[in-house]
Amino acid sequence: MTRIVLDVDTGIDDTLAICYLLGSDGADLLGVIGTYGNVLARTAVRNNRDVLRLFGREDIPVLLGCEQPSWADLFEVDEGCARFHGGNGLGNVNPADYGVHAPAGADEILARPSVGIHESGADASAPGLAVGGRSGSPAAATVSDGGAVAGGAAPFRRHLVKSVGGDRFDIDMEAAGADGAGRIPAVPPVRDGAGVQFIVDAVRRYGRDVTIVATGPLTDVDAAIALAPDIVPDLRVVMMGGALTQEGNCYDLICETNIIQDPEAANRVFRSGADVTMIGLDVTHQCLMTRADAAAWRATGTKRGAFLADMVGFYINANEASDPVFADGSPLHDPLAVAVALDPTLVDCFGINMMTETATGRGHGFRGRTIGDPTRLRDPRKTARVALGVDAERFTAQFRDRLTALCAR
């Protein structure tokens, strides 16, 4: 069994990545963290919970990660993300239409202490934590909308207050249900960055026997390193993001979407010394999901199959409309990353010490570009592996078959 902690900005391909893990006998999914990117972080958490409920895996913990990039105080979903993933991240498909109804009190998952990993294996409250990316945010709010920077935004509605057991938490007052006088309910508030603590706990308990798979921005992984630098020697990350030999998929055709959301975080993770495998556009664009795949899931005759088929129909249409190269199918970005975490032989990797450009022009290259680090060019220890070759036929067959079997259960 391969232990996995999945960190996702749950859009359509993130959902497919979750399903791939659920359909893989060799995967032990310890927890799913929702972060920002394709959707707001709290939407990602809700999507994660709904998908796990639909597939009968409510036992898997769902946690909230960082809600904005390390360089910003706010995050707004970019129009391009909504165009590919729909307004709700699930292709505008409503899980409730497929029998997914949250039980009473389910929304409290966004308003209770984080789930920690402890030696007993039992769930318990994690130590107090107040992280939302790195510290040192500017006094004036800065908004990230998929990499764009804007000044003068309204201040973030957060206040540092005392809470349970004398701990202090950074609370989103509105989400915690505060009334007009600023009073919040007795339910313990969400701990900003609870998913970050979960990463730390997992690595401290399992070491290199757990893999952190990040299919969104690397803000949570970066925050975990900042919170607990001691985990770096044991930290194994498989990330979906970046491009080394191919064009990017952002408007500039240089940067990849997950990286441009938080280039600073990506750069710090690459340079931290952690063991990183980069599954970028170099290989994900070679692995396509087709309408035939969706038809196979629908043919199972289950609500699960209908949900996946309807959701990916939106994604396939959006990709076809964006680029004629995807007329034959849509890229399986995030599912390939989780597949590689389970079976590294699916890809051929190039060892390199990576970095991310964090500024544009004046000798800085282009912000968000993933490239080899010139300061470590002669360092014999290569901390990153970049996938440049993939057994696309083997992977796409596994992907189709595992999800078909999952839908049919």
Q: Considering the domain boundaries, does residue 50 fall inside one?
A: yes
Helix (H) or strand (E) holding 305: helix 303-322
Highest mean pLDDT among 92-96, 189-193, 326-330, 344-348: 344-348
How far apart (Å, rounded) are the C-alpha atoms in residues 237 and 266? Answer: 12
User: Which of residues 120 and 275 earns the better pLDDT score?
Assistant: 275
For residue 339 the two structure tokens come to 């597949």
Q: Considering the domain boundaries, does residue 168 fall inside one?
A: no
For residue 145 the two structure tokens come to 């909308």
Average pLDDT estimate for 132-155: 41
Question: Is residue 300's pLDDT more than 80?
Answer: yes
Instruction: Report the DSSP pairing between strands 74-75 and 143-144.
Output: parallel
> Cα torsion for 317, 320, 323, 326, to the nearest 10°?
130
Beta carbons within 8 Å of 309's beta carbon, 6+ residues apart: 294, 295, 297, 298
How far apart (Å, rounded) are the C-alpha atoms in residues 107 and 179? Answer: 18
Q: Considering the domain boundaries, does residue 160 fall inside one?
A: no
Choice among 168-182, 205-219, 250-264, 330-344 with the minimum mean pLDDT: 168-182
Count of beta carbons in the 10 Å neighbourhood of residue 167 = 15
Q: Considering the domain boundaries, does residue 169 fall inside one?
A: no
Choice among 116-120, 192-196, 222-226, 378-382 with the minimum mean pLDDT: 116-120
How far apart (Å, rounded) are the C-alpha atoms in residues 303 and 43? Answer: 22
pLDDT at residue number 102:
66
pLDDT at residue number 148:
44
Q: Considering the domain boundaries, does residue 152 fall inside one?
A: no
Question: Is residue 398's pLDDT more than 60?
Answer: yes
User: Which of residues 156 and 291 earns the better pLDDT score?
Assistant: 291
How far apart (Å, rounded) are the C-alpha atoms in residues 359 and 366? Answer: 6
97 burial via Cβ count (<10 Å: 0-12, 13-18, 19+): exposed
pLDDT at residue number 105:
54
The DSSP letter of residue 233 is G
Q: Considering the domain boundaries, does residue 124 fall inside one?
A: no
How far apart (Å, rounded) are the C-alpha atoms in residues 261 and 49? Answer: 24
pLDDT at residue number 143:
55
Range of the domain at 369: 2-99+191-408
- Separation in Å, CA 228 to CA 222, 366, 397: 10, 30, 39
Count of beta carbons in the 10 Å neighbourhood of residue 350 = 16
> Cα torsion for 323, 325, 327, 333, to the nearest 10°?
-80
Q: Considering the domain boundaries, does residue 115 fall inside one?
A: no
The whole-chain average pLDDT of the chain stands at 82
How far apart (Å, rounded) are the C-alpha atoms in residues 132 and 40? Answer: 14
What are the pLDDT digits (tens) for 56-90?
A: 999 999 999 999 999 998 999 988 888 999 999 99
What are the pLDDT digits (tens) for 78-137?
A: 888 889 999 999 999 999 999 877 665 555 445 443 344 433 333 333 333 333 344 333
Q: Considering the domain boundaries, does residue 149 fall inside one?
A: no
The CATH number that applies at residue 253 is 3.90.245.10
How far apart (Å, rounded) are the C-alpha atoms in residues 142 and 132? Answer: 14
Helix (H) or strand (E) holding 336: helix 333-342
Q: Where are the alpha helices (DSSP H) in 23-113?
A: 41-54, 79-85
What are the pLDDT digits (tens) for 174-211?
A: 443 444 444 333 323 334 468 999 999 999 999 999 99
Highest mean pLDDT among 141-145, 151-155, 295-299, 325-329: 295-299
What are the pLDDT digits (tens) for 230-261?
A: 999 999 999 999 999 999 998 788 999 999 99
Provide the β-strand partners of residue 370: 356
Domain count, the chain: 1
* pTM for this predicted structure: 0.83
Average pLDDT estimate for 20-34: 97
